[in-house]
Every structure is written in C-alpha cells, then in structure tokens.
C-alpha cells in the first residue's frame, strides 16, 4: 500500500519537511501550481514521483506529460487522444489511471462506471500504459460500496492499481483493496484555501 502525500496548496516549507522525512510520492491537483512548485531543484529530488490527481484540460496535456510520472484523472476519450499526441511529441508517457465517477455526480470529474471499460480499452488500443483506476466517492454517502465498485471494475479489466481513500476514509479504502491512498489533511493538517476535490 502506497501513500501519496497530497501537497496541493501547502506551504513550500511543509513540502520540504515531507521531503526531508523521506516522502517521495506527491499528488497535485493543478498543473500550473505543480509546475511552479516542482520546477526548481525540488523537482530533481531522486526518487520523486509526481501524480496528477485533479482534472486535466487537453490544452495542458503536453505540460502534464512533461511534469507528471502518473496521471490519475483520465476520464474521457478526447483526453486519451490528447495524451497520446503529447506522448508522441515529448517522448514521455506517464502511467495512467482512469478516474471513475462512481457516484455519477454531475459536478464531479470521472467517467461513468458503465463507460470505464471502453475508456481503458481506448488507452490500451493506443499503447498507453494504463495501470489502474481512481475514484473520489460522494461526500454524503457511505464510501464502501464505491470502493467495492471501483475494485470490481479494476478486476474485470485486469488493472492492478486502485487509488482510493483520502484522509477521512483511507482505512476503509485499504480494506477494499486500495493500493494507493491520497492523504492531504492527515499528513499536512487542514489546508488554508478552500479547494475542490472534483
Ligand atoms: C485534495 C485531494 C485529496 C486529499 O484530501 P484530504 O481529505 O485532505 O486527504 C485526495 N484526492 C484528491 C483527488 C484531492 O483533490
């Protein structure tokens, strides 16, 4: 089970303290913010793994493939095509997770559960390295059924990585088979700014 430290909106000092303690896997939800934080010497830290956990616009695909080792938020065919073009242009091909909107919430990113298999197949048909699924359960529902659904979709597609579980529900996510939990508040304390998790 791997821990992704969600460093979005955290002060630089907090990120440096985590690096000093040996944390190497970080999650960011905005390409621009991540680029400025990880551009300098910090980004050259040996063993660093940067994961995009926020929505990605197609016009930022090139920047994203240059910056991130893993993109967890692949959620539509147009983005798959943009990532393929970006990979050809840059020669870099981050590992991909398909984000599934398990609660089918209109305001939330992610592919509908019934469309997940096709999106995984679209990645594979282009030779893109899709390795798992990611989800953010609805805040007002029990998370267990959402974690179970994500695990079922991963199993039937032969995908090994399950990024699920945040500060509030990571222990439950681990019981449902999470391979990666994404923790912000639990590691760094409460964030300053209000940040959406869609
Ligand atoms: C902010 C965020 C997290 C971390 O949330 P916490 O509740 O602070 O642990 C995890 N995943 C995603 C996608 C996020 O945007």
The pLDDT tens digits of the residues spanning 19-56 come to: 999 999 999 999 999 999 998 899 999 999 999 999 99
Q: How many angstroms does the Cα of residue 89 sit away from the middle of ligand 1?
A: 31
| Cβ pair 52, 34 in contact under 8 A | yes
Alpha carbon distance 195, 9 (integer Å): 8
Pocket of ligand 1 contains residue 186 by CB under 6 Å: yes
| Cβ pair 85, 175 in contact under 8 A | no
* Mean pLDDT value of segment 87-92: 98
What atom in ligand 1 is closest to the CA of residue 29?
Answer: 15
pLDDT at 195 over 70: no
Q: Which helix (H) or strand (E) holds 52?
A: strand 49-52
Residue-level pLDDT at 192: 74
Alpha carbon distance 195, 42 (integer Å): 23
Pocket of ligand 1 contains residue 184 by CB under 6 Å: yes
| Cβ pair 72, 134 in contact under 8 A | yes
Encoded tokens for 132: 């798992």
The pLDDT tens digits of the residues spanning 97-117 come to: 999 999 999 999 999 999 999
Query: Does the CA dihedral 161-164-167-171 come out positive or negative?
Result: negative
Residue-level pLDDT at 194: 54
Residue-level pLDDT at 193: 64
The closest residue, in CA terms, to atom 7 on ligand 1 is: 167
What atom in ligand 1 is closest to the CA of residue 182?
Answer: 10
* Mean pLDDT value of segment 134-148: 98
Q: How many angstroms does the Cα of residue 185 sit away from the middle of ligand 1?
A: 8
Q: What is the pTM of this model?
A: 0.96
Task: List beta partners, residue 6.
Answer: 27
* Mean pLDDT value of segment 126-149: 98
pLDDT confidence bin for 198, thresholds 50/70/90: very low
Pocket of ligand 1 contains residue 7 by CB under 6 Å: no
The closest residue, in CA terms, to atom 15 on ligand 1 is: 197
Alpha carbon distance 191, 8 (integer Å): 8
What atom in ligand 1 is closest to the CA of residue 188?
Answer: 8
């Amino acid at each position: 089970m791997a821990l992704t430290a969600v460093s979005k909106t955290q002060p630089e000092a907090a990120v440096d303290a985590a690096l000093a303690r040996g944390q190497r896997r970080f999650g960011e939800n905005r390409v621009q913010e991540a680029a400025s934080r990880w551009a300098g010497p910090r980004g050259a830290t040996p063993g660093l793994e940067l994961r995009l956990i926020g929505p990605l616009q197609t016009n930022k695909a090139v920047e994203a493939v240059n910056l991130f080792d893993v993109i967890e938020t692949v959620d539509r065919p147009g983005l798959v095509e943009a990532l393929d073009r970006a990979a050809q242009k840059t020669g870099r091909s981050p590992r991909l997770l398909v984000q599934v909107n398990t609660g089918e919430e209109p305001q939330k990113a992610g592919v509908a559960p019934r469309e997940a298999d096709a999106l995984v197949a679209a990645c594979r048909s282009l030779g893109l390295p899709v390795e798992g699924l990611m989800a953010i359960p609805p805040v007002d529902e029990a998370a267990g059924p959402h974690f179970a659904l994500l695990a079922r979709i991963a199993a039937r597609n032969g995908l090994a990585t399950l990024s699920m579980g945040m500060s509030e529900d990571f222990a439950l996510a681990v019981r449902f088979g999470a391979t990666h939990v994404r923790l912000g508040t639990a590691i760094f304390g409460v964030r300053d700014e209000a940040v959406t998790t869609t």
